[in-house]
Amino acid sequence: MKSFRTELENSIVEKDIIELESKIRKFRKGTIDEDSFRSLRLARGVYGQRQQGVQMIRIKIPFGKLTTKQLRRISDVADEYSNGNLHVTTRQDIQIHYVSLDRTPELWCELEKDGVTLREACGNTVRNITASALAGVDINEPFDVSPYAQAAFEYFLRNPVGQDLGRKIKIAFSSSDEDSAYTFIHDLGFIPKIKIIKNKSVRGFKLVIAGGLGAVPFVAQTFSDFIPIDQIIPISEAIIRVFDREGERTNRNKARLKYLIKSIGLEQFMKLVEEEFISVKEKVYPIDHTLFKIAGPNASISAPKVEKLDIGKFNRWKISNVYPQKQDSFYAVKIKLQTGDFSTSTARKLAKLVDDYAANDIRLTIGQGIVLKFVRESHLEFLYQELNAIGLAEPGAESTADITTCPGTDTCNLGISNSTGITKVLERLINDKYPDFIYNHDINIKISGCMNACGQHTLANIGFHGSSMKSGNLIAPALQVLLGGGSLGDGAGRVADKVIKVPSKRGPLTLTTILDDYGSNKNKDELFNDYYDRQGKRYFYDLLKIIGSSETLTSEEFLDWGHTEAFKTEIGVGECAGVTIDLVSTLLLEGEEKLANAEETLKDGFYADSIYHSYSSLINGAKALLVSKQVRTNSQKTIISLFDEHYVETNIIEFEGTFTQLALQIKMNKPTAEFASVYFERAQEFSKTVIEYRKNLVSNASD
């Protein structure tokens, strides 16, 4: 592989890419183990996919914002290193598939030339920060949340606080109380508020925390009704610090923030956050929104006159996909992408249209679509014609007819049954049988390939997730049906109920039965969730019971959508949550690397970062020796106390004071130069002690 040292101006990014390339070499030579390597590559957006020998690359797009230059760069990369398909995710990322591991450093380097990163797109990190796609033009927004999402992205990128968490942290910013970013399913969710303080309008956010989907969904709880904007970063850091130390680490199914707060309670958690505040890097973090570069409309040019316009199709598109902005005389245009996919050739044509007829501010949506901004009304007919020519003028964006889905068994290790095939079938069904549903924004349909909810099925009004069902000795692909989920606004929401499991091939009949029943029996203007509540879960179970019967399965129903071979469940090892590394040698090696990072950041004057690296090194060293004694540890907090119990109190290792006193100095001291230096020296001494003890232990065992 070639060196990247002369290709990038950003030395930090350059170092990151060189490190990935170096670790790939070591992995190929067998000098680092697979688990350790997996942890590193996941934090750099390199994710193993269902097909052996190739990778999925997740490209991190903060709050979904792209320039046309970046979109072209991503397209070039996808053509060179992948298969020319771009997949938009529910976290406003772009994924490309079938990439050779050995080419990932080169791929990353190419992306960084236009400021696009892979860093922390996967793994146990602060993941991509999402936001409402209409932020900045939303009629109902108190103010544009984009600058604050950007500030949070920049602050936590490569921040040691978020590099080696027990599990991922997800953050979202909604543009208004409507909560179109679904803050209630996030670890941290921010909703903009304006409060009058001393006769002045003050910007701030309501903060909700500890939401999450997955197999056991939780709705977020309110942390604060109003946090001034200069406090959102410090409070976020304090929350993540507490989660890092107190959260579960052994059982990854219980390692999310939602489980920590369920265990200790919100009141106790808030107390820990308050105590942690002394150690955060910045006690006040002003965010000057005026410095955020807002792309406005292009210079006015005349669009060519449209000679032949299908006025009926145009009007359906205009009513369902075009929204007036808060800026007078301008419109936002929503683009529907079926299954979130579009080709690189289409992307380049779209970029040209944006250059000419919209603001250079493309937003990817959490519904796997695209939003264009600052389109003039006089350009709508021509823009529709051009979008239609490249397959991007399908009406019904973000409506019932626009189904959210994950890739499922197409590429994901965790997929149980096909989600993209059934999505296409159901969208075709809606367009054919219920054409007016392109205007319906009350009923949202979402599909995942498994229970882990990458397709967000648990927050849908009508949701499905991939499953299987037995019939004698045979197994058929199935769909778990969920009903009644959705946003209630202002950070509140409801989780869909699991109602019944049906064969996958009966998915169309299931949806038709639900929609027809609702259409026939609802009260006037009754919304779907209100109808579901009135009828109750048992009503819908009885309604669908005959459809869910496995006794009448036909041979066709043992085949999954888009498949000709008999269905079988082939679930691999998922990597979304990263891994837990318990190898003693790996822990010691990582501890040394963190200590080196502590020394480097100390010299550069980044004292808070240095302190956190020193702390992480202490934890690694203590855990390594506990693991060598086969002592079970499930959090950093238990590592600290158990090390005292097994090594300090027993005098196995001579120690000044206790390990608890040493480690927890991090939360007792301000991040000054003096403390950073002393703390680093103590961590360095501890590392030497641990390594020497381990060497003697191994030497004695071999004698």
DSSP string computed for 538-570 = HHHHHHHTTTT-STT--GGGGS-TT--SPP---
179: region left, alpha or beta (phi > 0 left; psi from -120 to 50 alpha): left
**Residues 526-555: what's their mean pLDDT?**
96
- pLDDT for 307 beyond 80: yes
Kind of pairing, strands 188-197 and 200-209? antiparallel
CATH of the domain at 642: 1.20.120.330
Residue 158 sits in the same domain as residue 240: yes
Which stretches of 31-154 are assigned E, i.e. beta strand? 46-48, 55-59, 65-66, 85-88, 94-99, 130-131
**Chain segment 436-473, per-residue pLDDT in tens:** 999 999 999 999 998 888 999 999 999 999 999 988 88
**Chain segment 584-609, per-residue pLDDT in tens:** 877 888 899 999 999 999 999 999 99
Per-residue pLDDT at 7: 62
- pLDDT for 414 beyond 90: no
Q: What is the pTM of this model?
A: 0.93
Reported as a pLDDT band with limits 50, 70 and 90, residue 31 is: confident
Per-residue pLDDT at 579: 39
- pLDDT for 36 beyond 80: no
Per-residue pLDDT at 587: 85
Reported as a pLDDT band with limits 50, 70 and 90, residue 678 is: very high
**Average pLDDT across the chain, whole number:** 92
The answer to whether 587 and 32 are in contact (CB under 8 A) is no
Per-residue pLDDT at 421: 93
Give domain status of residue 131, yes or no.
Answer: no
The answer to whether 501 and 463 are in contact (CB under 8 A) is no
Nearest by Cα to 364 from 643, 71, 645: 71
Tell me the DSSP string of 472-533: TTEEEEEEEEEES-EEEETTEEEPPEEEEEEEGGGHHHHHHHHHHHHHHHPPTT--HHHHHH
Distance CA 365, CA 64 (A): 7
Residue 408 sits in the same domain as residue 522: yes
Residue 63 sits in the same domain as residue 95: yes
Give domain status of residue 123, yes or no.
Answer: no
CATH of the domain at 352: 3.30.70.3340
Lowest-confidence pick of 214-228, 412-426, 634-648: 412-426
Per-residue pLDDT at 354: 97
Give domain status of residue 302, yes or no.
Answer: no
Give domain status of residue 578, yes or no.
Answer: no
The answer to whether 350 and 392 are in contact (CB under 8 A) is yes
Per-residue pLDDT at 632: 87
- 256, 291, 326 — which closes off a domain? 291
- pLDDT for 399 beyond 70: yes
- pLDDT for 524 beyond 80: yes
**Chain segment 611-657, per-residue pLDDT in tens:** 999 999 999 999 999 988 889 889 999 999 999 999 999 999 988 89
**Residues 8-32: what's their mean pLDDT?**
88
Residue 654 sits in the same domain as residue 596: yes
Residue 191 sits in the same domain as residue 319: no
Kind of pairing, strands 171-173 and 130-131? parallel
Give domain status of residue 3, yes or no.
Answer: no
Residue 381 sits in the same domain as residue 415: no
**Residues 167-176: what's their mean pLDDT?**
97
Reported as a pLDDT band with limits 50, 70 and 90, residue 6 is: very low
Residue 152 sits in the same domain as residue 75: no
Reported as a pLDDT band with limits 50, 70 and 90, residue 578 is: very low
Q: CB neighbours (10 Å) of residue 311?
A: 9
Q: Which amino acid is at 600?
A: E
CA dihedral of residues 248, 249, 255, 260 (deg, nearest 10): 20
Reported as a pLDDT band with limits 50, 70 and 90, residue 569 is: low
Residue 474 sits in the same domain as residue 610: no
Instruction: Give every strand in the sheet of 462-471, ordered side by side.
Output: 404-405, 445-448, 462-471, 474-483, 497-503
Nearest by Cα to 675 from 684, 687, 665: 665
Contacts of 406 (CB under 8 A, 6+ apart): 89, 90, 412, 415, 419, 447, 448, 449, 454, 455
Nearest by Cα to 133 from 175, 170, 94, 95: 175
**What number of residues does the chain have?**
703
**Chain segment 84-133, per-residue pLDDT in tens:** 999 999 999 999 999 999 999 999 999 999 999 999 999 999 999 999 99
- pLDDT for 336 beyond 90: yes
- pLDDT for 5 beyond 70: no
- pLDDT for 582 beyond 50: no
38 CB-contact burial (10 Å; exposed 0-12 / middle 13-18 / buried 19+): buried
**Residues 688-701: what's their mean pLDDT?**
83
Give domain status of residue 199, yes or no.
Answer: yes
**Residues 420-424: what's their mean pLDDT?**
95
Residue 545 sits in the same domain as residue 413: yes
Residue 287 sits in the same domain as residue 142: yes
Domain total for the chain? 5
Per-residue pLDDT at 4: 46
H helices of 629-672, where? 636-643, 659-663
Residue 591 sits in the same domain as residue 627: yes
Give domain status of residue 303, yes or no.
Answer: no
**Percent of the chain beyond pLDDT 90?**
79
**Percent of the chain beyond pLDDT 70?**
96
- pLDDT for 673 beyond 90: yes
- 357, 389, 421 — which closes off a domain? 389
Distance CA 681, CA 123 (A): 30
CATH of the domain at 63: 3.90.480.20
Q: Which residues of 382-407 are buried (b: 16+ CB within 10 A; e: fewer)?
A: bbbbbbbebebbbbbbbbbbbbbbbb
Q: Which amino acid is at 262?
A: K
Distance CA 666, CA 619 (A): 12
Give domain status of residue 399, yes or no.
Answer: no
Q: Which amino acid is at 548?
A: G
Residue 375 sits in the same domain as residue 411: no
Domain holding 371, by residue range, is: 311-389
CATH of the domain at 452: 3.30.413.10
Distance CA 45, CA 460 (A): 28
